[in-house]
Structure 1
Amino acid sequence: MSPQPAPFSVTRRRGLTLVEVMFSIVVMSTMLLAALGSVGAVAKARVTQKESVQGLALARQLLSEIVQTRYKDLVDSTFGIEAGESRATFDDVDDYNGLSEASALYADGTAVAGGTRWSRTVAVSWVSPTDPSTTSATDQGLKRIKVSVTSPGGRVTTLEALRSAENGYEHTPGSQATYTCHVGVSIQIGTNTVVRNVQGVALNNLVP
């Protein structure tokens, strides 16, 4: 009796078809695009938040500077800048009407930290004391100050304030005194002056 060959079995292994491979690529590509979209949205949100904070700080700084000046010039009551005046010598609120800066500057001409390419404009107008949202053709003792700040990316931040002729800044003290009229803080990360947060506020109640 001759020996019989051992039985054997053939296991068939099913491979991936071209259609399945292509489908897998499409699924992976979709997931990758979704992930990249999420990362991009987070990065955009961070930039927007940073611009919002910086724009608000730059608007507050300029607005604080303006409201600390007199309601109107003591010599020439004409609305607007007087002859021969410059930003460094502005002494009343409406001198700032029409001010436009390509980059944020202090009154003495020095650059505001982190304000490069942040443009600022100012509009001052007479308004009605009974309805400050309504402009007036004549001076009724109240002015509206509007400061607009535009980031390098085009984001606009606007702040408004009302300044009356009876504000505390109008009352000159009987003797010479030094007052704290503005409080600010500047926080910088590392040596990069662009990564800086500036906040400040003008004080309403002046204390020597």
Structure 2
Amino acid sequence: MTRRKLSTKPAAQRRGISLLEVVVAAALVGAVLVGSMAALGNSVRSRLAAAEQAAGPLLADSLLAEIMEQLYNDPQGVADYLGRGGSESASERSAWNDVDDYTGWSATPPQTKAGAELTQYDGWTRAVTVRYADPFDHDQLNSDNGLKKIVVTVTAPDGAVTTRIAYRSAWGALEQAPAADSTVVTRIDLSLDLDAYEAATTSTPLLNHVRDPNE
């Protein structure tokens, strides 16, 4: 059974919705929607900016950690110049074995040590320079005095630059031969992969010989 209350007022006295009210309501709804879309846009831009600000240091730190685990000099013999030897590839970082093999290297987009492109960083560039440095005041030198200055530069698609600097000594802990042959850990890599976001990867070098727990 359906019940309906009937009004005793004449039809002319019953109130309806005027065209003006409809227009005002539509304008209010539109204003709210515009404000919401603007807030959403600002939120997305803020998240993208934060992700880009984090990407530069992550890319720089991971490459610097890779370089810092290498030897001060080529194990095949001490060279009197900075750079790769004649038999060393200019692009295959996996075969490089001392810090100044990296000088002059750059890649867009960045690459892993094995040479795979990090496609999520399209438009980014990583570059490395290695120079001799004075052990006392860190000024650049033209000859080897036992210290090398390593500079990693990361350039974002918008031109923002992140720079990381490290120094490698000929007398550092990693240059000292162990008492017995052993396998040591020289770097720790960390990758964070969330479902809705691109994976973030970083690395850190270890400053002394840490015995491999799996050995």
Determine if the TM-score, normalized by the shorter chain, exceeds 0.5: yes
Which amino acid is 2:44 matched to? A
Moved more, 35-44 or 85-94: 35-44
- Aligned partner of 2:95 in structure 1 is 89
Alignment gaps of 5+ in structure 1: 1-20
Shift of 1:35: 6.1
- Aligned partner of 2:10 in structure 1 is none
1:201 aligns with 2:204: yes
Equivalent pair of 2:109/2:119 in contact (CA under 8 Å):
no
Shift of 1:146: 0.8
Equivalent pair of 1:113/1:196 in contact (CA under 8 Å):
no
- Aligned partner of 1:54 in structure 2 is 55
| Inter-CA distance 37–158: structure 2 relative to 1 (3 Å threshold) | farther
| Inter-CA distance 150–97: structure 2 relative to 1 (3 Å threshold) | same
1:125 aligns with 2:128: no
> SS of 1:204's equivalent?
strand
Shift of 1:104: 2.2
Which amino acid is 1:174 matched to? A
Moved more, 29-38 or 180-189: 29-38
- Aligned partner of 1:182 in structure 2 is 187
Quote the Cα distance in structure 1 between the aligned partners of 2:135 and 2:36.
54
Residue correspondence of structure 1 range 152-167 to structure 2 within 5 A: 152-167=157-172
- Aligned partner of 2:19 in structure 1 is none
Shift of 1:64: 0.9
Equivalent pair of 1:52/1:157 in contact (CA under 8 Å):
no
| Inter-CA distance 52–173: structure 2 relative to 1 (3 Å threshold) | same
Quote the Cα distance in structure 1 between the aligned partners of 2:199 and 2:161.
19
Shift of 1:47: 1.1
Q: Aligned pairs, how many?
A: 195
* Same amino acid, percent of matched pairs: 31
- With structure 2 as the length reference, what TM-score do the two structures score? 0.72
- Aligned partner of 1:15 in structure 2 is none
- Aligned partner of 1:150 in structure 2 is 155
Equivalent pair of 2:82/2:130 in contact (CA under 8 Å):
no
RMSD: 3.5
Shift of 1:152: 4.0
Equivalent pair of 1:51/1:155 in contact (CA under 8 Å):
no
> SS of 2:44's equivalent?
helix
Quote the Cα distance in structure 2 between the aligned partners of 1:176 and 1:156.
42
Shift of 1:156: 2.5
Shift of 1:203: 1.1
